[in-house]
Amino acid sequence: KEDKEDKTVKFEPLGAGESSASWEEGLTVSYAQNLARELMELPANMMTPTLFCERMQKELDGVANVETFVRDEAWAAEKGMRTFLSVTKGTSEPAKFLEIHYKGAADKSATPLVLVGKGITFDSGGISLKPSADMKAMRGDMGGAATVCATALAIAKLKLPINLVVVTPLCENLPGPSANKPGDIVYTMNNKTVEIDNTDAEGRLVLSDAIYYVTSTYKPNTVIDVATLTGAMMVALGSVYSGVFTNSDALWSELNEAGQHTWDRFWRMPLDDEGYGPQIYSSNADLCNTGGRPGGSCTAALFLRHFVDGIDNEGATIRWAHVDIAGTMDLSPTSRPDLAHGTSPSLNLKVTRPGPYQQKGMTGRPVRAFVEFAKRLSAQ
């Protein structure tokens, strides 16, 4: 009879006052993810664009090599961020544009990694109003901003040898006397025209100016935008994977490996201009902000691609990824009003795959995967 393999697990607790690098890293990353969860869970009256910026300034205060810049609407107007500012016209709450700079590389002038996060602190849908059932879940529509800012905090606290720029356009999307109307046409920061067919497709409007601003200003090699963007992504992947659209096989491989390592997983989606582009190219403007229900997450990604400065230049080397976290943003039993314009308003989505340490609520994903990605990138 063969001897059975000894599978005994032995624990040796650290002594008083002792620690380890792995333990401290785990604490830092878990704090960051829980911060993202808290930012998303707080009700919209307690997490306005202004309060979001104040909270992040407090979290980053005293962290080495970090600078924060809180821009106002006048600054955005001066920069020509017309699509971003068009979304905030329906609310009296001031919009903000938050920038976080971390310079951890030995060469402080080295090209930074760039993260962009959608920051709609409450999304009613605007004039294209969402159903009222469970609309409160849309307090988490700033999940992209929460995750990239929390990622920046972890990267800075871990002192990773990398330069990083994070930008988040923050505002509310409400119906009001001056709100965007279906059929309106606005000019983007890079002077493309966009027809607003549906005011509930506002995330891509605020992201378009943010992506163009950061890519044209800082000329990154790698830029990743993160957003709770489409109900179509929730239908496609559920809460298991975050969807990734990218022009770079290498970037996809790096993100996928980081996601597998942290079990905060991604799934690559098609970025097919020939296949899906006609759905957003046939309006009264250069682009339409929605291409209808078929392939809704794919047309949204194609829309954003038009604002990555230099991506179509001959010999372009910029690596861009769009990460749609609409499905992975939460694990709450909800009818998710963000799905109403992409599927049936009565679609009832229950928690089908609760995690081992989180049964419901905002998840803060994919903070762990992004930190691991940056860690590996900084080691190259």
User: How far is the C-alpha of 354 from the C-alpha of 24, rounded, in Å?
Assistant: 27
Nearest CA to 173 out of 142, 195, 144, 219 is that of: 142
Does 130 participate in catalysis according to the annotation?
Answer: yes
**Look-up of token digits 């809460």:** 239
φ/ψ bin of 248: left (φ > 0), alpha (ψ from -120 to 50), beta (otherwise): beta
User: How far is the C-alpha of 266 from the C-alpha of 325, rounded, in Å?
Assistant: 10
37, 103, 130, 319: the catalytic one is 130
Residue by residue, DSSP assigns 270-318 as ---HHHHGGGTSSSSSSEES---STTHHHHHHHHHHTTSTTTTSTT---
Backbone angles phi, psi at 272, to 5 degrees: -115, 100
**Helices (H) then strands (E): counts for the chain:** 11, 12
Distance from the first to the final alpha carbon of the chain: 49
Beta bridge partners of 120: 171
Does 368 participate in catalysis according to the annotation?
Answer: no
Q: How many CA atoms lie within 13 A of 324 on its CB side?
A: 31
204, 305, 319, 365: the catalytic one is 204
Structure tokens at 346: 């009565």
> Quick check: 210 and 170 in contact, CB under 8 A?
no
Residues designated catalytic: 130, 204
